[in-house]
Every structure is written in C-alpha cells, then in structure tokens.
Structure 1
Amino acid sequence: MTETGEFDAVMRHALDLAARGPEHGVNPRVGCVILSPVGNVLAEGWHRGAGTAHAEVDALSKLEPGRASGSTAVVTLEPCNHTGRTGPCSEALIAAGVTRVVYAVDDPGQASHGGAERLRHAGVDVVAGVQSDAVGRFLQDWLTAARLGRPHVTLKWASSLDGRTAAADGTSRWITGPAARRRVHEQRASSDAVIVGTGTVLADDSSLTARSDDGTLLPEQPVPVVLGDRAVPEHAAVRQHPNSPVFLSGHDLAADLIDLRERGVRTAFVEAGPTLASALLREGLVDELQVYLAPTLLGGSRSALADIGVGTIAEQRRLELDRVERIGDDVLIIAHDPHPRSLNRWTTERAAPATGDAARRIPPAPGPTTPSTPQTASQGA
C-alpha cells in the first residue's frame, strides 16, 4: 500500500470510528485503524473524551506486545506530541514499532502539534492529507477553537423578508413556523453553550433550554451564557436551567469568548438581539450565520442588525454562502465569514510572520464595549 489513494477507504472508516466519540468538550473526536504490513486490519480505536486514551493508544492497547511492529496507523488527526492528561501519541506509535502513519489534517494546537515531525525524525514514514476535506468538515468546530483560541461561534436570528425581528410593539413570537423552531432547539442541543444578552433574558424570560415539540427537555442541554451588566432576577427562567448559567459582563467580547473556551466550550450558539449580534459581527467573532427568513413583512425599525462598522458599500461584509434550506414555510440561509478573528496569539504569529522584534510584539486587540441593554430579538427561544 504505497499510494495515498489506497488509504481513502480506511480513512473513511477511521472517520466513522471518530464519530463514536463525544460531540461536546474541548477534545477532538479522533479515530484510528492499525493495519498489518499486508493491509489487514489489526485493531481500531477512537477517543472517548478528555482524560481517556487517545485513538492511537486505544487501538494499540488491543494488540499484544510486538504485534504492531511494521504496521501502518491510519488516523484522522495528526498524532499529538505533548503530555497532557495522557502521553504523546507520537511516542506511543514509535515505541510500538509502527513504521508508517497516515493522517488527514494537521493538529493546529500550540502544545499538541508537531507529531508528524517527531515521527519523521524517528524514521517513520508519514503521509498527510488523506481525505482531508471530509475530516476537516467533521472537525470544523474543534479546528476553529484550536486555531482561533475561542469557541466556534454560530449567530442565529429569525426575521421577516424585510429583515425585521419584531413588530413595532416589540412582539416577536412567532415569526417563523414550528419546523424552524424545532431546528433551533436541535441546534441548541448540539452546542456546548447558548449565548444571549441580558436584554433578551429580561424581555423574554428565555429559559435557553433545548426542548422537544411537547416542551420536554432534550437529553443534551447547552450551558446558558448571559452577557451584560443588568441583574437577572432570581426567579428568571434561565436560573432554572439544568446547567448552571454563566454570567459575563459583555464589556470585552474577545475576553468573554476566551473565558468560555477555558471553561470547555467548543461551540457557542448565539441568539441575541441586534446590539450584541452586531458587536460580535463588528469584531469578526462570528464563524457561521444561520438566518431564518419567514415569508412575512413587518416594516418598522426593529431590524436584525445595528451598526456593524459598514459606512459605505465598499466596506460591506461579504460572506460565503454554504447552503439554503426550506424548512416548513421558512427558509434557512447558512453562511460563514471567510476571515474570522483569531484570539490565539500563537496562531496569529504563524499566520502573519514578521521580522525582528516586531514579530514577537503583538499588541492586545481592543475589546468591544457592548452596551448592557441589548435589544431583544430572541424569536425561537
């Protein structure tokens, strides 16, 4: 097996193994298949979450000592090269006698990258980039968090065709239909955290839970995060959430996102009013937009966004369209920002190398000041 194309099927199987791991948390979902010198499957493994064996070690643990000698390891992510809760996978592969490692995507982590280089230095044949597109899509949220030093942020709003999120009197329930609202709750359940401003919480008394059509709680629940200075009453619905809510000032959104990342949040789903939504967009802190459009017209001034820093058409924030879906009578548009902002100093240094001392002096990015009374636009909450 010398052609990289011959590893495609095995890599796809490794990706299926990776999908068995937990969707939430700071660690990536990784799968590994160990092949004999003639291409037979010797063992397979996957990562089951923080503190457990990584996929490569999990697979190797199923083999008798010496059985992996001369074998090929096919793994979805570059083997790590650092000691955290577990040891470096690169060293485990070397010690087991693996002579070839095939992987899909590079590990962008500051501490964990470098496994491929270590393996090559030890004389292991390394093949990179096999099925990288498929694995990259699968690991998209984790790769965003690892590269940018913050959670993968999805911003959602629901509006009329003329871009209004509420009627003139402030009422917004319901602009979209039940199918769209169901999708929103599914998105909440698949996210580590759901973020709103205090204005939304106070105006709508949002619970921020993920619920089924009959109102029962879904098995997976996001951590509710409320940004803003205004006090949230003790009897507020968000305080009854199954997960303890996180309250942050919202004065420095970049710092707040770093805080959430350090708390283990990998994916953040934002359902905020125009003030907070606009601040996140203005600062380049949104990776994906999910915009639900209902076939209705409201008019008035309650638009989905406020100022996002666009003063002229030449400054427009051009997004890349990912897909368009019809959901019931509504339309869901999913797009992404091709130039999200990194909060990871190491990633920034690598992406924009400089010379001399200037290369090591990266001034802190100015934090946006988010008003503590964001307008409500929580349709779908």
Structure 2
Amino acid sequence: MSATETSTTSGDDLVSLGERLKQAHREGGAVRIEGGGTRHFTGRQVEGEVLSTRRHRGITSYDPVELIVSVRAGTPLQELEATLAQHGQMLPFEPPRFGAESTVGGMVASGLSGPRRPWAGAVRDFVLGMRVLDHQGREQRFGGEVMKNVAGYDLSRLMVGAQGTLGLITEVSLKVLPVPSSSRSLRLEIDRERAMQQLASWGRQPLPLSAATWHDGALNLRLEGGPGSVAATADMIGGDDLDAGYWQQLRDWQLPLFRDDQFRSQPFTDHQQPLWRLALPANTPALALAELEGAESIDDWAGCQRWLRSDIEATTLRDACALAGGHATCFTPQAADPYTPLSPVLARYHRQLKQQLDPNGVFNPGRLYPDF
C-alpha cells in the first residue's frame, strides 16, 4: 500500500498550546508538560502550570511502503502501534508502555528503549524530524522525513530524552520497520560469567539475536529474523523454550523486580527499595560491592543495562559505575537526584544549551537537574 494514510481520531491543539506558552513567556511563568502522566517517575518533580498535550493527537501521515510515520505528541502510543501492526510494522526500539494513557510525546521526551535496543537502535536513532514549540510559542521544525534531510547539528534528536526541558514536542516523524517473520525465545541455565562470555562470542557472529538478559540464574535469549536462520540458531544454542511474554513484561516494566503487585497500573507503587538502572560498557563484570550481595537484579541488553533493587547509597553506586566507565540512574519517584551529577564541563554545556533554547526557564524547570 503506497498511499499515505492519516489517523481518523485526531485533534490539532497547536494554536492553544502556542498561546499558553506565549502567556508563560510574557508573565515569566513555567509550565509542566504532561501527556498521559504515565512517566512521572522519570526525572525530578516539576513545579509549574500543567500544559497538557492530550488534545493534540493523531497520525498526520503514514506511508507503509516508505516505512515513515508522522504523529502528534498527544497520540496514545498504543494507537500508533495498533496502526503499524495492521501493516505488519513496528517501532523497532520497543518503547516501554506504562498503560493505555502513555503518549508518543512522552515516549520521545523520556527516550526509553526496550530489549531490542542494542541490536536495532535507540529512540533517537529512528527520529527523522520533529516539530517543536519554543519558549515564545513559535513552531520550529527540525529534520525531515528522510535521513538525508538531517544535516548539521540535529536538534530533533537532541530533544529525545531531554524530558521536555528544551521545548514542547508537538509532532515527530519516525522510521519504522517490518515485524520479523519468525521469532523464538530460549532459556539456558548457566552462571552469569559464562553467559556474558557466550554473548560476547555470539556477538561476533551473524546470529539473529534481538534480546538477551541474565535473570534468575539463566540466560534468556530472543531470536528474530527469517524462519531458517532462527531455527538453525536455536538448534545450535539449545536450551529450553521461553514464553515470549517474558519480553513484553520486561519491555513494559511488569516483571516482579519493577513492582510489588503485578496488577497495579503503575510501576513502583508502595515499593520500599529504589530502582536503579546501571548503564555499563559491554563485558563489564559484576560490580564488587558488598552492599549488592543478594540484591534483586536483571542484566539486560547483554549486560550493558542492569536493573537493580537496592538501598545502596547513591554515591557509592555511582562511583563504582564511573570507575567501570558507566553511570547510574534512579527511577524511584521520591529520588532527589535521579541522574548522575554532571561534571563541571558537561554542566556548562547543558546550562548554555538551556539558556539558548529556553532562556526564561519556561519548560519543565528542574526536571533533569536543579539548576536547569
């Protein structure tokens, strides 16, 4: 199907959003950007007037042949994925879905990716272009709808993961991919050291791996691709079959590590221990910290992303990660400093960027760091 499609459930709230920002600019106020409100636990809590994007919704353009979709920020993520699924396509970076209210704008602003990220790419790798309202309510356009349109410093990708601190995302154009024709999940009961060695070895081979975790004493793998390649690789690796639902639970933060009660609608409810995400270089051994002995954890992304539940002191954990060449982020709502403090040089660049794009501090002030 080569014709461009558009969404039937849409709403253009661009004028209203722009007027609200102009008012905040004139009066020296700040806004707290909110879509579905499902990602409130990412970043620091923000004070300011709520500016909702929920009415600015709809798929404005979709060409299944060219694998490109443009969608407004307030569009429910599940609506976008349902439309893509009708054409056998998907968002390759597997963004977590924190309930039916989760929006595309929140997906882009948080920049979170799922199990397939090391093999397919992150959210920003599939952003082709973006429309943004600046601090004066003016619409700015960055990038385009094809990769060759992206030249120079790509501000659209800079918005990914910025938590709405640099501007209000109103529309984004994304590259999508076909759903793999075959998939199989396996579980091998081996220790962590052997699991990491195997993954390093397999990483040097053209195998159809698309997800890998070490969890509860076993290496969990997902194979995706052509039927022949998937079947041959599964025969070579061996192990037991794993329910494919495991990857959906991991993607959506529904595994027990993320929540006490699987049936609650939000992660972290009533959980007493902070949830940490450690980003570490490949093949980094387990951190040698006595405070982590017996802690509940999942090694995701073939060991490069490690989820951890622990009461360990933040400085101790972050120092250990820094020595290994990584960093640690806390995803618990009450965390005072969820992100690793910036070095003086990086802090200066962040401050200068914020000053250029949001000189009056209109957008989500303090969401990432207290000074911004």
Same fold (TM over 0.5): no
TM-score, normalization by structure 2:
0.27
TM-score, normalization by structure 1:
0.27
Task: Choose 1 or 2 for highest CA Rg.
Answer: 1
